[in-house]
Structure 1
Amino acid sequence: MQSKPKVRFRGSEAANGLLMISPTAIYAILLLAAPLGMILVYSFMTDGYLQIIPHFQLCNYFGECHSMKEVNGVLTESQTYKGVWSDPLALTLMWRSLMISMLVTAVTVLLAFPVAYYVSFYVSPSRKSLWLFLITIPFWTSYLIRVFLWKVILGTGGPINFGLLELGLIQEPITWLLYNVNSVVITLAHAYAPFAILPIFVSLEKIDRSFLEAGRDLGESPFMTFWRVTLPLAMPGVISSVLIVFIPTIGDYVTPSLVGGPEGKMVANLVELNYKKLDNYPLGSALAVSSMALVMAVSLIFLFLNRRFLRGNKR
């Protein structure tokens, strides 16, 4: 009597579906979940000289830790360092990373929405594919090359300073365009613009145009029709764009390294420093875990506020 349900499950669509996705699921677990699990475990270990000592401790997050060094077979304390949430430098970089990422997300999504709206509502159906093709042109080049190009564009000898000098608007090259937060925001906003445009465009394309006509027939102004009809219906695409831009930008370290300068460094640069130069894997892992927790918390708050906004519009 107990074998029949098993036989039924083995031949069911659910079993076939699980069998089909199992290779991909195992592959994802091995390449994604396993490294994240190792980083989480490392964050509670003790730093040693060119090794990780399997001694559990919480000071990598709070308090003061001691690196261990083996001398004549005996582990001794070699140097001290502060945990993530006790280190002013780490807190400063995490706060700066959060602000930069939120600013990049706001700028990118606010600039992407009009582009997606124009392509969806004003471009003829026969030309929409061409516009989408043009939007994806930045993907043709390497991300690293695009960052280097912005470094040239924003530099003292770049086209912006050259044009302003030729027009007589400035007497000497502007230096605040590069190696600060401004250059990081500009570069990241350009790099992630296509990622923000495409999800919004897909959501706008799914909107039934009769809803907009009904709003106008009921006497709503174009702005109120947009606010109460178009924007709520397009919100899934906006949410996708926000998360797609916000999550990776807070962990970006290439752009701050190349165009950020000392003022534009982010938490990912500190993680890289601990892993590569200081050889402090536990502290670097604790920084990475703390950054992931921060991203998760902000994302959940955003989703909660968005749900409140949608409920308010339904009322």
Structure 2
Amino acid sequence: MSETTSRVLQLLGLLQSRRVWTGRELAERLGVTGRSVRRDIERLRELGYPVHASPGLGGGYQLGAGAALPPLLLDGDEAVAVAVCLGLAAGGSVAGIGDSALRALSKLDQVMPSRLRSQVSAVHEATVTLHAQAESTVDPDALMTLARACRDREHIGLRYTALNGAVTRRRLEPYQLVTTGRRWYLLAYDRDRADWRSLRLDRMADIGAQGTTFVARETPDAATYVSRAISSSPYRYVARVRYRCPQDVVAAHFSPSAATVEADGPESCLVSTGGDDPDRMVLWLASVGCEFEVLEPPEVAAAATRMARLLSAATAGGR
């Protein structure tokens, strides 16, 4: 491979890894002059890659969308990651993605080096998927629109149906997509409510990018925020419980969508979870098998007292 060809491929990889690059940044990365960068940009355009150039502050070179999909450059780690995700996608929660994922995987597998193919095989052989029907599916176009908006920090608007059936228009700053395997959620800043929100994608409609961008705010951890929202907000009672055993032991018993688990020293942890029936909540919390204390609310604490009496009576009656 000639030095020029190698440099053009390296340039393509840079353009695919970030939205906008200045000519100076590209020249420094490639170790060439600005003139060489401009020549290589023209070579990419001749090959069918739509490279756009914008002047002024905030401008630079940007790889755009063309009429046809040109070849993509993937390094070894990226190729393995894509192949693993495609292999798992057929059982996922994105509507209609299964057949497309299999076609894409077959194309990738055809050109993948044997050393990378063996890594992909090792992951799949070590993985078992429970093919339970997803509770809800997400339109792939909506997913891609939101993913691009998160990446580009672009305002979005949509229509949202709440749990109680109320329909509202939302103007959002999208930050992160989160999936539990059963559902997709978006962490976003609601411009009208001036607060963070966790929104289910299957409750969204009329999703559209607004064409304007925003400056990123200090963002809460997406996984923690969504986990806390979906494990507590839909329920009548939200219990806070202290377990007298390590965080990893307790976390193994709860899914992220059912409870949030936080360390409270090396030998104890705090759990927050929601439910509609205090008695059932206590039985579920007790199933961990560790000593625990209900901190709140009073209804769940009272249910724990009732359950303790019933279990104590059952033991006494068996003597």
| TM-score with structure 1 setting the length | 0.19
| TM-score with structure 2 setting the length | 0.19
- In terms of fraction of residues, the more strand-rich structure is 2
Higher relative contact order (CA 8 A, sep 6+): 1
- In terms of fraction of residues, the more helix-rich structure is 1
